[in-house]
């Protein structure tokens, strides 16, 4: 009997897999426990629709990430910091501060975990960082650290 798995089952298959199992295994174990449903036309169509919807969602996220990457590529973000003598900062500028400054000035919310800083920012100056927006999509931008805002 052909069934569509509704959840992962060790040794049998993963969710939404269409597999052939014995009639007894399907009727006595998988179907009563709602682990699978019979692979009829409607159930197969539902799976195809879910897959198409998931692919559409991924495509939309990718388009949005590409648009944001184009907007941010080569941009300069200003971050204010307090410093002592010779421009040495009290502490350092973190990815969180860069993300907050980015969202404040551009209106684009960026997660701090997606920002990669090559070197610690511990003095005034311009530094380069990278924002990974999606798998394979990133933007490089500059961070200008000063005592202004």
2-63: in CATH 3.40.5.10: yes
**Backbone torsions φ then ψ of 143, nearest 5 degrees:** -115, 120
Residue 91's pLDDT is what? 87
Averaged pLDDT, 114-124: 90
Residue 21 binned pLDDT confidence (cut-offs 50, 70, 90): very high
State pLDDT tens for residues 55-107: 999 999 999 999 999 988 988 999 988 888 877 888 889 999 999 999 998 88
Q: Is the pLDDT of residue 148 over 80?
A: no
State pLDDT tens for residues 23-63: 999 999 999 999 999 999 998 898 899 899 999 999 999 99
The contacts of residue 65 (CB under 8 Å, 6+ apart) are 133, 134, 137
Residue 29's pLDDT is what? 93
- Cα 99 from Cα 107, distance rounded (Å): 11
Averaged pLDDT, 2-14: 91
CB 19 within 8 A of CB 5: yes
The contacts of residue 31 (CB under 8 Å, 6+ apart) are 3, 37, 38
For the whole model, what pTM was predicted?
0.70
Residue 22 binned pLDDT confidence (cut-offs 50, 70, 90): very high
- Give the CA-trace dihedral at 94, 95, 99, 100, to 10 degrees: -20
Candidates 3.10.430.100, 3.90.920.20, 3.40.50.300, 3.40.50.170; CATH matching 66-146: 3.10.430.100
Q: Is the pLDDT of residue 149 over 80?
A: no
| Domain boundaries, given as residue ranges, for the chain | 2-63, 66-146
């Amino acid at each position: 009997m052909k069934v569509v798995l509704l959840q992962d089952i060790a040794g049998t298959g993963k969710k939404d897999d269409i597999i052939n199992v014995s009639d007894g295994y399907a009727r006595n174990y998988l179907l009563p426990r709602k682990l699978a449903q019979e692979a009829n036309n409607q159930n197969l169509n539902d799976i195809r629709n879910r897959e198409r919807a998931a692919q559409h969602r991924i495509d939309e996220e990718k388009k949005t990430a590409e648009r944001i990457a184009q907007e941010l590529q080569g941009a300069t973000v200003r971050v204010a910091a307090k410093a002592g003598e010779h421009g040495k900062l009290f502490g350092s500028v973190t990815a969180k501060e860069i993300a907050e400054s980015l969202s404040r000035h551009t209106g684009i919310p960026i997660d701090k975990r997606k920002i990669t800083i090559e070197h610690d920012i511990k003095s005034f100056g311009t530094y380069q960082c990278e924002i990974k927006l999606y798998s394979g999509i990133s933007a490089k931008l500059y961070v200008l650290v000063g005592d202004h805002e």
